[in-house]
Structure 1
Amino acid sequence: MSTGHVEYASLNGTHIFKLIGEVRAQSCISLDKLLARIEQQENVVGAIVDLTQTTFIDSTVLGVLAKLGLKLKQAHHIQAVMLSTNPDITTLANSMGLGQVFVILNYCGDPTVCTQALLDDNVNHSTMLTTVLDAHKTLMKLNKNNQNMFEPLVKQLEKQQDDMECASDTEPQHNA
């Protein structure tokens, strides 16, 4: 179980994402859903990802953040800002290629920014699988090293997803 969480705030088209503690795949389902809604908005002027209170971040979360950075660049021509004060987190983000889609700053800002926790609702195996798969596919797009590193995982996840779809297609339909 994750001991971290994601908080969010928005003001006049600027979106702030604050990742606190050990943030793992389970914590980013709501974030991924939120990104889909933000992508559809027209008044997006900026985004800040605050990692100053992040103690651990897994590759799925990094992939979701990469997706955020890529979508903002493509849809809104905005380069998002990532704040990090933990050298390990900064090195990890850079090694995964996030420096290509974010301006990464070492910043110790005001920890009392008014964000609210994103709630992890409707988390099921299928939703988790889709989020993890999409996040890792996004990381693979950033650089060749990521592509080589995550290709076996992505193939395995795609097979699981196909197996789940086949199983649901072969289940008998019950008419009420």
Structure 2
Amino acid sequence: MSTGHVEYASLDGTHIFKLIGEVRAQSCISLDKLLSKIEQQTNVVGAIVDLTQTTFIDSTVLGVLAKLGLKLKQVHQIQAVMLSTNPDITTLANSMGLGQVFVILNYCGDPSVCTRALIEEHVTHSNMLSTVLDAHKTLMKLNDSNQNMFEPLVKQLQKEQDNLEQVSNQQNV
């Protein structure tokens, strides 16, 4: 289980995401839903992802963050900023291609930025599967290395999702 969490704040169209501790896929459902809401907003002027207190981040979280960066570029023509002071986290983010969609800065600012913890969504197998699949598909779009690394996982997850949908459709008949 995740020993970390995501906090969020927004002020005048600037969105701040603070990832604290060991942030894993379980924390992504709320974040992914929030990103969908932000994508629909018209007054978005910036986004900051603060990883200065992140001790671990998994590929699903990186994929959801990649989705944020891509959507901000595509929909709002904004380049988001990522703050990181941990060389391992920075290297991981760069190796996954997040440097293409974020300006990654080594920054150690005020840890008391006024964010609030995102409320954990009720995690079902189906919504977790959907979030993990979408996050890894997004990472695959960033570079060939990610494409090769995550293609087997994405194929397996897609197969599982298709099977779940088939079972659900049969039950609804």
TM-score, with length taken from structure 1: 0.97
Q: What's the secondary structure of 2:109's corresponding residue?
A: coil
Equivalent residue, structure 1, for 2:166: 166
**1:122 Cα offset (Å):** 2.3
Equivalent residue, structure 2, for 1:29: 29
Equivalent residue, structure 2, for 1:115: 115
| Structure 1: gaps (5+ residues) | none
| Structure 2: gaps (5+ residues) | none
Answer with 1 or 2: which has the greater Rg.
1
Equivalent residue, structure 2, for 1:100: 100
Structure 1 stretches of 4+ moved >3 Å: none
State whether structure 2 residue 120 is matched by structure 1 residue 140.
Answer: no
Aligned-partner residue type, residue 157 of structure 2: L
Task: Give the distance between the partners of 2:166 and 2:27, measured in 1 at CA.
Answer: 28
Q: What's the secondary structure of 1:51's corresponding residue?
A: strand
Indicate the percent of aligned positions where both proteins have the same amino acid: 84
Aligned-partner residue type, residue 157 of structure 1: L
Size of the alignment, in residue pairs?
Answer: 173
Aligned-partner residue type, residue 130 of structure 2: T
Equivalent residue, structure 2, for 1:150: 150
Task: Give the distance between the partners of 1:123 and 1:57, measured in 2 at CA.
Answer: 19
Q: What's the secondary structure of 2:85's corresponding residue?
A: coil
Q: What's the secondary structure of 2:17's corresponding residue?
A: strand
**1:172 Cα offset (Å):** 5.9
